[in-house]
Amino acid sequence: MNQDISAILNDSASLKSALSQNADFVATISAAAKRLAQCAQGGGTIYACGNGGSSCDAMHLCEELVARYKRNRPGIKALHFSDPGVLTCWGNDISFDDAFARYAETFCTSQDVLVALSTSGNSKNVLNAVTAAKAKGSFVIGLTGKDGGKLAGLCDIAIVVPSSATERIQEVHITCIHIWCEMMETKLGLC
């Protein structure tokens, strides 16, 4: 069992280590951090959505922005599309495929950024949210994996984790989220 645990840790570390040496990947994370900071500084709101673990990551991003990451600072306007009442109402009465799109239609503006998370890049409700947010003029940042799926082509900035293992993709996504928070608090003037 210890060997299995070591192998899992090494697999995770190897992927992140390889990505840290990929200048294009690092530059894409940096560009996303700058765009998120611009949104916050301009009075916009950062929205986020995803399913399952990606939903939890969307909530985690918003929690770090509204409350704090490492430093005491004013809150940054952020909201995830995960209210159970809204999701179950829309999903039951209309369609779960359009539940996130309903949020985007209701809240997103041209001042805002939507962070769309999908490890496959093909989650229909996430794709529909992106389409709705773009129709409202919002900037869209995608966190995806594998080959990027359909999501990569719809986003203004797409961060594609080149792995087919969902757990490794999610581990890099949460690292990206923490990098954004770190950069926004320390390098991009939000403290």
User: Which amino acid type is present at position 178?
Assistant: H
Contacts of 170 (CB under 8 A, 6+ apart): 53, 54, 57, 119
- Full-prediction pTM beyond 0.75? yes
What parts of the chain have a pLDDT lower than 70? 191
CATH of the domain at 107: 3.40.50.10490
Tell me, yes or no, whether 11 lies in a domain.
Answer: no
- Distance, in Å, from the CA atom of 112 to the CA atom of 43, rounded to the nearest integer, reads 8
- Distance, in Å, from the CA atom of 172 to the CA atom of 186, rounded to the nearest integer, reads 21
**Number of structural domains in the chain:** 1
What is the model's pLDDT at position 188?
Answer: 73
What is the model's pLDDT at position 191?
Answer: 62
Tell me, yes or no, whether 71 lies in a domain.
Answer: yes
Residue found by looking up tokens 């949020």 in the block: 103
What is the model's pLDDT at position 15?
Answer: 96
Tell me, yes or no, whether 10 lies in a domain.
Answer: no
